[in-house]
Structure 1
Amino acid sequence: MSNLGLRIIAILLSGFVIIQLLLLAVTALPTRGDAHRPFNLPQPDDVRVLAETLETSPPARRAELLSLFNDSLYTLRLARGSPAGFDGGLSALHATYAAALPGRTVTLPSRRPLIGGAFRENRWTGRLFSPVQLTVRLSIGETLVIESRPSAVVRTYLRRRALLGVIGGLLLLAILTVAVRRATKPLVRLSAGVRRFGSELDAPDVPVEGAREMRELAVAYNDMKRRIADLVNERTRILAAVAHDMRTYITRLRLRTDFIEDPEQRRKAAADLQEMSAMLDDTLLFARQDASDGPDPAHLDIDAEIEALVAVRREMEDAVWFDGGAKGTAVRLSPLALRRILANLIDNGLRHGTTVSLSTTREGETIEIRVSDNGPGVPAAALARLGEPFGRLDPSRDRTTGGVGLGLAIVRALVERSDGTVRFANQDGGGLLVCLSFPAAPPARG
């Protein structure tokens, strides 16, 4: 369940608990007619009448009288001997009964509250927690003991009430969990759709479901997503059309360079046209990274793919080395995208250095590809600009010293499109280090 769903459940359950506590407090609060019974004891006048009746009744009827006066919230019994002395606890309650029973010894032995001594004088907690025992010394030599202990019927009722409260709370929690999950499900799907759209322009529309506000939000998001996709695709189509027309003119100019008599000027003109053609290719490729017609990703054995690419480069006599540390690990990535990423990084490394080293490692669910060279590195202040479109550290326009500044930008675009991240850093011994991180793909099915 989402964090939002858990918060909603916590808020509703907190309200339920507060309501239950308020109801419990109202139940425990003595009413106006119950002012003399804050601790579930009989009224002082009733105790006086009972004491007088017991003193004037024959011994055989005293048990019957006690049963008549017994209440569901307290019990009555006669005990022999003198009651324990008053120890000062519950002084206000003791004074009330002592005033109603003049000439008799009234005691309130120390209570044994369940939670320390903090409830000794509290009317609310006195009704809820520990019993109170009131003793009255009678003239017949016996002691009337009144204890605020609920009867078996009341105790059974309270236990059942508590059990029903627990069952009701669990049932409410289950209902809230289902209801909140259903209510927040459209929002969770919308959030997942937004994240997917960030790396996949042709991501499917989010379902239009849930409350009216959620449906309106989903419709607005789907419309916005389609407009953005149309704009990006239209931009790509315009660039492709311009590139096509430009290639036509470049081809014409190449043919005309053959009529230049000066060999040096002919060579320079051909180099300029080659640079212009490469610039168009890079610009169009960079623009297509945001379009919806990109290559489909596949499960790739990352070490096997890199080994194959390095073998081709070594056949071309490029000083490229590979140390695989993630054998058997797959990533979900387009093979064409991976080859273009590594080709750009290797070309960049060989342009500024003489050797390029590649390595792979796996940490948890992340696959890291490290590409390093032995070149001069990059000024620390310029590291943050690497990967920006048309960002070049060399102010010249000669492609042999850095191209038009789209190589690393294409790398960043391809990596981020594949849910990866790219990081640039300088090595301690010199040279540029490029770290590519991709999430490991789950095992391919059958």
Structure 2
Amino acid sequence: MSGLGLWPRGLIGRVTLVLLGAIVVELLGTFILVSQAERVLLRSSEAHRVAEQLVVAERVLSRTPQAHWWEVAPSLSTRHVSFAIADAPPPVRGAGALSRAAADAVTEWEPSLRGRDLRIAVSGPGSAQPKRLVGALRTQSGRWIQFRSREAVTGWTPSWDWLFSLLFLVGAVLIVATYVVRTLAAPLRALSEAADRIGHSHRRVTVETHGPQELRRLARAFNEMQDRIAELVESRTRSLLAVSHDLRTPLARMRLRLGGREHPGDREAMADDVAEMGAMLDTLLDYLAGGDGSEPDPAQPTDIAALLRSLVTSMRRADAPIAIDAPDALEAIVRPVLLRRAVMNLIDNALKYGGDAEVRLTADDAMVHIMVRDHGPGIPTGLREKVVRPFYRVDEARARNTRGFGLGLAVAQRAATVHDGALSLEDAEPGLLVVLHLPIAGPDQRCEKESGNILIRF
């Protein structure tokens, strides 16, 4: 339908055109059915009258002297049928299927006329004039009783009143339909205007969630989309603020060393500062660019048990032991690069703030559970929703002595979201237990393309 030049582009025009088309089709169908039924009724009624009055006329004439038939026959005429007497049958023109159908209808109403010399036709004086039922019945004396219907039995000429009524009805329905459709489309117009205003000001545009169920869902989805966009922008802003703030300390140390006398070990210290700044930038870029499907890390069947054991082996230190409890093999569909980064951050946080890390892997019918526990001070319950935000630190003073700047749990939270899973923080008494829940079947990829984009057609 989109290829038709006359198909409206707007919702109002499309729905209105559909309603108008349905009304026109219904009216035309009703007109055709009523017209056909009216024709059938008129023909049947006319045949009944002709058959009945023809039998009555023959009975009256049979009891009347033949010398008076010429005067009596016209007096038997009614407003429906006229009669006359003739020595020969009238010439019948236009005999055909319609005439045979008329003769069958007459004899059906009066079975006594069957087998008689009855000639019936449907004809008229001109092709442009209505046709009428004409014919003659031969009497026992040999004369013919001619008859002619006074009312048209075929053809139907529409009146201008009907046409004006049809146009008035179509116009009225069109006006009402347009008003109703405009009312229904008003929320869509408001949503379109709200979408146009996004990005042109710092104020948040909110759409009221009322109206039909589909429009309420659309309004809620629109508002939630704005929340996600605002969170994304805030996250990027916080990242710039955080990196600029954390880079000031090593930059200040480098300025002091460059502005003063050179001391033994300055070169090594400056190299450490440069390495620290590089690590910060790498961590930031890793967070900003990863975990959203844009990196080459497709979901694939992966042995999570082997992945965790390899990760623990590479991170194990002599002064910070890492224990692991995992089955020999446990396969699930995951993004291995993103999952490895998330678990590495969880283990790194446990080592930094708890002094040790215990990794455990379990599974049930549909989910994989990766648990990382430490024996540190834990995180207060009221702050657990905040610590999964990027660049948030529970203890800003102590955080200055630790590397990184608050992205460990944020990366794990993103990994859980990308995998259609969840991240939970629980008390371990003592310490903190962080659990990463992932579906064994992997994230929903029914609409996902190779480029990571999603295309929805309508």
Indicate the TM-score class for this superposition, using the shorter chain for normalisation: 0.3 to 0.5
Q: TM-score, normalised by structure 2?
A: 0.42
Q: TM-score, normalised by structure 1?
A: 0.43
Structure number with bigger Rg: 2
